[in-house]
Amino acid sequence: MFKWFGKVNFVPYTKVGEFAEHLKNGKIMGTRCKKCGTVTFPPRADCEKCMESDWEFIQYSRKAKLVTFTQIAAAPTGFEDMVPYTIGVADLPEGGRVLAWVKEIDVKDLKIGMDLKLVPRIFEEIPEIKLYYTLEKP
Amino acid sequence: MKVAAVAIGHGVFGKRSDASVQELAFEAFRAAMHDGKNLERKDLDAAVLGSVPEYHKQRSLAGVVAEYLGLNPKPIWLTECACASGSAAVRTAYMAIKSGMHDVVAVIGAQKMTELATPEILALMGRVGEVQWESIFGTTFPGYYAMFANAHMHKYGTTKEQLAAVAVKNHYYGSLNKFAMFQKPVTIQRCVEADPVAFPFGIFDCCANADGAACVILANEEKARKFTDEPVWLEGSGCATTSMSVLRRPNHYSIPSAQEAAKQAYMQAGVEAKDIKVADVHDCFTIAEILAYEDLGFAEKGKGGKFVEEKQSYIGGKHPVNVDGGLKAKGHPIGTTGVSMTVEIVKQLRGHADKRQVPNADIGLTHNVGGIGQYCFVNVWRR
């Protein structure tokens, strides 16, 4: 089901593929290593700290804090219809960071360090299931 | 056993609709063979090709280059580290000579990017980010560096005009380099008012996709003087990596792999940043050159913008940087760039750079970044 993730998806198969199922149900999940307790986002099946592969999903609060951003005017293949679109990188309090589209905030109003929320989304205009998430005003 | 650059060759960069990739490689290779003293193909033990294969319809490019250059049956292999593929080739040849396995190795950078259209190149380049969690949002290479620019501007107060000052300098020096893609100076105003690519970048903040080739012949100490009266020695070779994903970086206003590679290269060569008389650094975007000043220790952290504004990176300043036009004005055939930088620094240390010559250049440096610092190679050269 990881092929559901992204408008253009380059990686249909992964050990953390169930992430997309949770996203469809409105949940943002990170992973926790059952051995050393490391929590991370994006999800990883293999712990980067202790190298164990015994892990579980944990639900994230959707809180986010803007680290940096850009607005794309020259788009790559598959995204031309969306320009201009804003991409943000945000810290997640549980652990790790996320890269996502920033919705409904003018790029001039974006301030590094500002609070945002991470929102699960479905592409309504695409017939098959296509999921993503956005950074929005809290 | 010391290793020297004994011969160099460089082709014209740009949209080379007149030539195939192996024909471009031939131009640079032939120029290098003529540059060397009594240098013939039989003197070469092996060749290493720096190139990013996804741009060419031809698969396994090293094979076709070896054939077209008449190198069979000598060994050849490809190195790939995105935009640092050329420096990966230099380092691999250096390792082959240091190990004693080979005496003389040809390093060739060859790339023909314009077989693809710009949106396809943007897509391909954007996938040097992490494809599973980042590229699905339509990330691009300018977009990634733009995020570093915004973080640097926020943290240190770097301005759009300071970014533009990098472009103005490099286009000025490009106008003095016959191999450069762009030959005309630009103004700060034209740069800051240019069409947007990825906020805060306009088109003059970005280097251009280009075709082109360059070649350097490396040899061991024993054979070096047989092929040149002006050997330029590779005295420090630093190389490091950083996470593929920008999400797993310590910050977005420095390149850790560049800091680490510089430390290694300085230590091996027994020099400090202040000793570097001339440098070619990886200015794929204007912010990248500012990051390079800081990561290499030419400027204090956060003061890179001021450094270029005060013309410290011009000839006559503290550290002349990219006085061949850099990627910005030369164009950036990605697999070739590291070899092109090497050619320029060898030329400078020999004292053959004409109008662009840095006076008393005895120690030079190349800084070649792959991706957004996923790979970085820093080499210190001495005449």
CA dihedral B231→B232→B236→B239, nearest 10 degrees, is -110
Q: What is the DSSP string of B270-323?
A: T--GGG--EEE---SBHHHHHHHHHHTTSS-TT-HHHHHHTTTTSTTSSS-B-T
**A5: which DSSP letter?**
B
The predicted-structure confidence for B306-353, as pLDDT tens digits, reads as follows 999 999 999 999 999 999 999 999 999 999 999 999 999 999 999 999
* pTM of the full structure: 0.97
Q: Residue B304: what pLDDT?
A: 98
- Rounded Cα distance between B243 and B51, Å, is 21
Complex prediction ipTM: 0.97
- Cα separation, A111 vs B87, whole angstroms: 37
| pLDDT tens digits along A11-45 | 999 999 999 999 999 999 999 999 999 999 999 99
Q: What is the three-class DSSP state of A48? A: coil
B294 pLDDT above the threshold of 80: yes
User: Which pLDDT does position B165 carry in this prediction?
Assistant: 98
With a CB cutoff of 8 Å and minimum separation 6, the contacts of B67 are: B22
Q: What is the pLDDT of residue A41?
A: 98
Q: Which of B199, B207, B245, B287 to mutate to test the interface with A (most CBs of A within 10 A)?
A: B199
What is the DSSP track for B44-93?
--EEEEE--GGG-SSSSHHHHHHHHTT-TTS-EEEE-BTBTHHHHHHHHH
- pLDDT score of B99: 97
What's residue B127's pLDDT? 81
Are the Cβ atoms of B150 and A70 closer than 8 angstroms? yes
Of B122, B131, B195, the CB nearest to A11: B131
Distance from C-alpha of B273 to C-alpha of A137, rounded to nearest angstrom: 45
Q: Which of B329, B350, B336, B279 has the alpha carbon at shortest distance from B29?
A: B336
Which chain B residue lies closest to A92 (C-alpha atoms)? B247
Among chain A residues, the shortest Cα distance to B121 is held by A76
Please indicate whether, in this complex, the C-beta atoms of B139 and A82 are within 8 angstroms of each other. no
Taking residues B123-150, report their average pLDDT. 91
Indicate the helix (H) or strand (E) that contains B201.
strand B201-202
More confident call, B349 vs A9: B349
The beta strand positions in chain A, using DSSP E, are: 29-33, 39-40, 55-59, 63-72, 85-91, 97-102, 115-122, 131-136
Q: What are the tokens at B171?
A: 């286009």
Range of the domain at A96: 2-136
The DSSP 8-state label assigned to residue B208 in this structure reads P
Which of B376, B374, B371 is closest to B125 using CA atoms?
Answer: B371
- Given pLDDT bands bounded at 50, 70 and 90, which one contains residue B221? very high
Q: Are the beta carbons of A98 and B247 separated by less than 8 Å?
A: yes
Q: Which of B118, B127, B260 has the alpha carbon at shortest distance from B203?
A: B118
Whole-number Cα distances in Å, B292 to B50, B187, B230, B333, B344: 22, 22, 29, 20, 18
User: Which tokens in the block code for residue B69?
Assistant: 């250059």
For B109-132, write each residue's pLDDT tens digit.
Answer: 999 999 888 888 888 887 878 999
The C-alpha of B196 sits at a distance from chain A's nearest C-alpha, in angstroms, of: 6
Percent of chain A scoring above 70 in pLDDT: 100
Q: Is the per-residue pLDDT at B225 higher than 90?
A: yes
Angle between helices B141-156 and B118-126 (to 10 degrees): 60
> CA-CA distance, B291 to B281, in Å (whole number)?
10
B201 versus A127: which is more confidently predicted? B201
| Shortest Cα–Cα distance, B125 to chain A (Å) | 9
| Cα–Cα distance for residue pair B271/B275, rounded to 1 Å | 6
CB contact under 8 A, A132 and B136: yes
**Strand order across the A55-59 sheet:** A39-40, A29-33, A55-59
- Tokens 């890269």 belong to A99
Query: How far, in whole angstroms, is CA A101 from its chain's centroid?
Result: 9
The alpha carbon of residue B17 is apart from the nearest alpha carbon of chain A, in Å, by: 23
Percentage of chain B beyond pLDDT 70 is: 100
Residue in A with minimal Cα distance to B140:
A76
CA–CA distance, B366 with B119 (Å, rounded to integer): 30
Contacts of residue B148 in chain A, CB cutoff 8 Å?
68
| Count of domains for chain A | 1
B243 touching A (Cβ < 8 Å): no
Tokens representing B294 are 């800081």
Q: How far is CA B46 from CA B5, B71, B103, in A?
A: 15, 8, 9
CA distance B71 to chain A (A): 38
Cβ pair A74:B123 closer than 8 A: no
What does the pLDDT read at residue B142? Answer: 95
- Give chain B's domains with CATH numbers: 3-117+209-232 (3.40.47.10), 125-206+234-382 (3.40.47.10)
pLDDT tens, position by position, B181-219:
999 999 999 999 999 999 999 999 999 999 999 999 999
